[in-house]
Amino acid sequence: MLIHSPLVGGLTWTLVAEQMRQRGYSVIVPILSDLEISKDPYWKQHADSVAQALIDIPPGTNVILVAHSGAGPLLPIIRQNIPNRIRAYVFVDAGIPRDGATRLDLMKSEDPGWAKGFEESLQSGEQFPKWSSDDLRKIVPDENLRKRLVAEIHPRGLDFFTEPIPVFHGWPDAPCVYIQFSAPYERPAAQGRQAGWQIYKLSVGHFHMLVDASAVTDIIFEAVHGLV
């Protein structure tokens, strides 16, 4: 299961999913959906979205969860919300869960100076992200893909970044691997290394799966085959 950040959409993983299917693998790209009027926290709505995407998959089927960016902190709650056994967790330029931590808490532990200004902007009523096509030109050179990515951007406010996300006791209950693309994720990668995870590093952009899907597919396969 290739899980996109709640800040963007399923396009993130579309090209990699196609690569994996061409190589004979079963792949699901669940769309994380939520309603601001819902009484459920965002994390629960997103975990429910993943569970719904798996509804036709037999409970005895093993699953590998691959998370990009803001989907990382959701992996434990997703695991609790599905009946399938998890064979591995793969973090791709993603935040690492910490029980009860908010997304803002994780940002503060990764880059305190940046997070302070970010929190102030959210408190003033701003939302994030609000990337334009020009903002992402260097990261996603293909104009068509870049426009589609921007069209799926879902700006979030303070309530999204300050909701605590639970992590169950005993997580991780399966092998983990970290794949780092960009410099802002140096600290999560280091955290994974300290935990004994296998670390892979590519000096590329945050959305490299939309630049070289084949290379990203290769490294995910290499990482997973080394775990299971």
Residue in this structure with the two tokens 């992200």, named with its chain if needed = 129
First-to-last CA distance in the chain?
A: 16
According to the model, what pLDDT value does residue 227 have? 73
pTM for this entry: 0.96
Kindly list the domain boundaries of the chain, sorted by start residue.
Answer: 2-225
According to the model, what pLDDT value does residue 226 have? 74
Residues of the chain with pLDDT under 70: 228
What's the fold here for domain 2-225?
A: Rossmann fold (3.40.50)
Q: Which helix (H) or strand (E) holds 91?
A: strand 86-92
Cβ-in-10-Å burial (0-12, 13-18, 19+) of 204 comes to middle
- Tell me how far apart the alpha carbons of residues 189 and 204 are, in angstroms, rounded to a whole number: 15
According to the model, what pLDDT value does residue 228 have? 61
Q: Which pLDDT tens digit goes with each residue over 6-15?
A: 999 999 999 9
According to the model, what pLDDT value does residue 212 have? 97
Give the β-pairing of 86-92 and 63-68: parallel
CA-based torsion, 27, 32, 33, 39: positive or negative: positive
| Omega of the bond leading into 172 within 30 degrees of 0 (cis) | yes
